[in-house]
Structure 1
């Protein structure tokens, strides 16, 4: 059973900080259960909810999954923004997309913010992909993931060897909101956590919830725990086959439902003391919070899939109207560059002829002609990004990203019913 310890804090600070931060005394520190091989009875209603959400989540891997995967990566750029310690106004989806293009082509005028976010998106995507395909995830892999999330913070790399805590004071854990286990316990607890992650004792959604809560409870790094913990949600769901292509934005939902999230984690940290709720009841309380967030994330993803399909239908109609007015057959050949690029636009909403030629494995003239045809049909807009180089931009895709990000930051997940509660991009003007 998990338990709360009462160690003594001996302050070494005697000046330069408020008097309250100088005091010594007992504090409350949590020691969690091991989770590998634990017996867990899940409430009947909750288990049925898990089954429904997992079924809906698997359905997202069907038609439209590629487009959802491309857009979901932009929705999760908030993680990259946090990882880069970027302050002030976050770069727009278009700025980040152009910066991504700059990783393979020469692009001028890209802001440093956008470059940092694009680089971090790439690093995080590569790191989590490696964890998904690994036969076994080890402690060293999590340390490496942490390095990728905090590339410019070497002092925080490696598992912690000091006591850390959340809230109240930078100088003392006394009266802190939460104090994780003694640093001497971290290696053992992380080893146990990864044994559980490498298995399949519970349903994928349940496993993702427990891995996340246990990681946040261990708090194994001196900084960046939230970012790694959220990445592990996506890692578990992908390793178990629930999200083959798209990333479920459950972490963004949890970031919006802050109070419910904190309450859920507090419930997970059950106590073995007499009179405390049983461990199973406490864990079930957290699972309800997580499954509710996952259900909301699935609903938002379903709406995205529908929006992407509607967008493709509008593109097809515009292209048909343009081609017929130009004396061409309404629909291009299915294997033509024009038809194929429409499939890729949600994933790559900013393209050049050079990039498209590489993606489709066609000649530069064929790629250039396809992009120009879509421009004339009103599907793409243009922007000069380098002398002699033009980018073709699917602005409707980028607007869809912005509207979705704003909705995920609303406590009603609909900005018509409640405004966003955390920083988000401004409404699209077009």
Structure 2
């Protein structure tokens, strides 16, 4: 990173630490110029969130829809940073007791996505029970994200004590495209950011959320896992500010598809103060993914209604199993028994009925330890099906 690559007055300080230049962002908020285009993007994004919020008001079991959406966010967040290409099926199969992935790297990447699901769930649960969105919570979620996955040897749950570079793996620190804040500045910068989050928005809430995401990634408080935790922070702030009643949105999908633009827009803020371009990019991510999540949710609900009509009057167990199938489109009988607190014979009968009717497909060809998949559900939620 070179000082000459930065504008004369960037939104932060470029300083030399041990012979390496690093960038510390100014505290939030910057001064933003309101424009008509920015106002339009804000309106579109808020409309998309409004649609998702409405889902929660008339869902009897929100988790039926939340589970597939959370799993999609986990897979897309991991795919931004991994060399392998995960699918939702990989993640669901792992949860059903299989061991997908042909190499150790692929298996570690699936573990990373599984950790993301756990971290989202733990973060929302903590806020829902009154926890503060503070350093302690972020460190706890960071530890969850890195357990048994990439970065587990890089001090999970602890703020970094060294410089890090953002570039392709193996790039020397001296040649890195960007070097975030020096470690001595990290605790103070993170404290200022979290105080800003807790104080509530200064601009339109989604504009502030764009600023918060930039600030977190630029501080880069941990040695590894900052991208994953920064995208998770978006979900937590949406919930904390009552913009969404749960983790219905998966913005990582947009960032993944537009990965180069995502990284370039973040860097352009630090180098040139290009705030408006970054905010517009972020708002479009929220808008596009909000509409997509709503479409996926409505399709899942329509499928659920069709199944419920098909098995109307055939007891509560089969309806409970159908809901479980939508939450877990790869499943085993013991999974369903444990989750639904129903007898093994009742669950077995319901699963066999769904198998006979083609709702489920058995994948092992075995007489014991069978696993099942729900093709119609996967067709809706799996964005990478060939």
Question: Under a length normalisation based on structure 1, what TM-score does the superposition of the two structures give?
Answer: 0.72
Return the alpha-carbon distance in structure 2 between the equivalents of residues 89 and 376 of structure 1. 33
CA contact 1:124–1:149 (8 Å) conserved in 2: yes
- Per the TM alignment, residue 358 of structure 1 is displaced from its structure 2 partner at its CA by 4.1
Which position in structure 2 is the counterpart of 1:124? 119
With over 3 angstroms needed to count, the CA separation of the structure-2 counterparts of 1:170 and 1:354, relative to structure 1, is closer
Are residue 33 (structure 1) and residue 34 (structure 2) matched? no
Quote the RMSD (CA, aligned, Å).
3.4
| Structure with higher helix content | 2
- Per the TM alignment, residue 71 of structure 1 is displaced from its structure 2 partner at its CA by 1.6
- Per the TM alignment, residue 167 of structure 1 is displaced from its structure 2 partner at its CA by 2.8
CA contact 2:77–2:231 (8 Å) conserved in 1: no
Deviations 1:204-256 (A, max 9, x none): 42232122100111122222221111111111112223332343121220121
Q: Which moved more, 1:37-46 or 1:243-252?
A: 37-46
Which structure would you say has the larger Rg? 1
CA contact 1:332–1:339 (8 Å) conserved in 2: no
Return the alpha-carbon distance in structure 2 between the equivalents of residues 160 and 76 of structure 1. 26
Which position in structure 2 is the counterpart of 1:69? 66
CA contact 2:94–2:100 (8 Å) conserved in 1: yes
Deviations 1:297-325 (A, max 9, x none): 112212212332443355457x36xxxxx
Return the alpha-carbon distance in structure 2 between the equivalents of residues 396 and 163 of structure 1. 48
Which position in structure 2 is the counterpart of 1:371? 351
CA contact 2:317–2:347 (8 Å) conserved in 1: yes
Q: Name stretches of at least 5 consecutive residues in structure 2 with no aligned partner.
A: 1-9
Q: Name stretches of at least 5 consecutive residues in structure 1 with no aligned partner.
A: 11-26, 103-107, 272-278, 321-330, 407-425
CA contact 1:79–1:227 (8 Å) conserved in 2: no
Are residue 304 (structure 1) and residue 300 (structure 2) matched? no
Q: Which gives a bigger RCO, structure 1 or 2 (Cα 8 Å, sep 6+)?
A: 2
Which position in structure 2 is the counterpart of 1:205? 206
CA contact 1:208–1:236 (8 Å) conserved in 2: yes
CA contact 1:138–1:194 (8 Å) conserved in 2: yes
Which position in structure 2 is the counterpart of 1:184? 184
Return the alpha-carbon distance in structure 2 between the equivalents of residues 286 and 81 of structure 1. 22
Return the alpha-carbon distance in structure 2 between the equivalents of residues 361 and 146 of structure 1. 32
Q: Match for 1:149 among 127, 130, 145?
A: 145
CA contact 1:349–1:394 (8 Å) conserved in 2: yes
Return the alpha-carbon distance in structure 2 between the equivalents of residues 249 and 170 of structure 1. 30
Question: Under a length normalisation based on structure 2, what TM-score does the superposition of the two structures give?
Answer: 0.79
Which position in structure 2 is the counterpart of 1:51? 43
